[in-house]
Amino acid sequence: MSKDNTAELDDGFVPPFSKAPLGAVLGGFAAAMSAVGTAAIGALMLLIVADVIGRNFLNLPITGVSEIAARSVVAIVFLQVPAAILQKRLTRADFLVRRIERASPAAVALLEATFCIVGAVVFALIFWSSWPKFIQSWHSAEFFGVQGVWTIPTWPFRAITVLGAFTAILAALYRAVSDLRSMGGAK
């Protein structure tokens, strides 16, 4: 294992509690959310395969699969985005970041912090716009599906969006502070 690889492993997104209690709690919660999202991907895959088999071979389609899939994909993204932020795994041009880092590690830390602050603002806007919809769906017992045939409440999906956006805000702000602190230690 090269020196670069060990540095990447040491920069884990769940720091030890003794070094960073807030980071450890946030990282652990984000990891748990990501694990739930991963399990949801597996469950969704099984549901879709069961529907395809039932529809094509047994002439017994499963009612509501398309509605569940449409809502689940959004929920899965919001379950996994906080961990992606903390792990620095969001879509980016790593080749460019590595080149800039060779020239100026402080510039990369500033770039990463700026990216995280902008991300926090975006997720704050998502949270702000999603919260009233969550409350409304909770109070009105809003559902999707065909009444009398198959329905499911919308509030759990909206709650996941709100929780994921809020956790993403915290993750982005934590990462921004961490990157800004590393600017002082960058050579």
Report helix, strand or coil for 177. helix
Q: Please report, as a single letter, which amino acid is at residue 123.
A: F
Name the residue among 170, 183, 161, 33 with its Cα closest to residue 105: 183
Helix 155-185 × helix 65-86 angle, to 10°:
20
In tens digits, the chain (187 residues) has pLDDT values of 344 443 443 455 666 665 677 878 888 899 999 999 999 999 999 999 999 999 999 988 888 888 899 999 999 999 999 999 998 888 777 778 788 878 877 888 888 888 999 999 999 999 999 999 999 999 998 888 777 778 888 999 999 999 999 999 999 999 999 888 877 654 4
Q: How far apart are CA 180 and CA 172, in angstroms?
A: 12
pLDDT digits (tens, 9 = 90+) for 31-52: 999 999 999 999 999 999 999 9
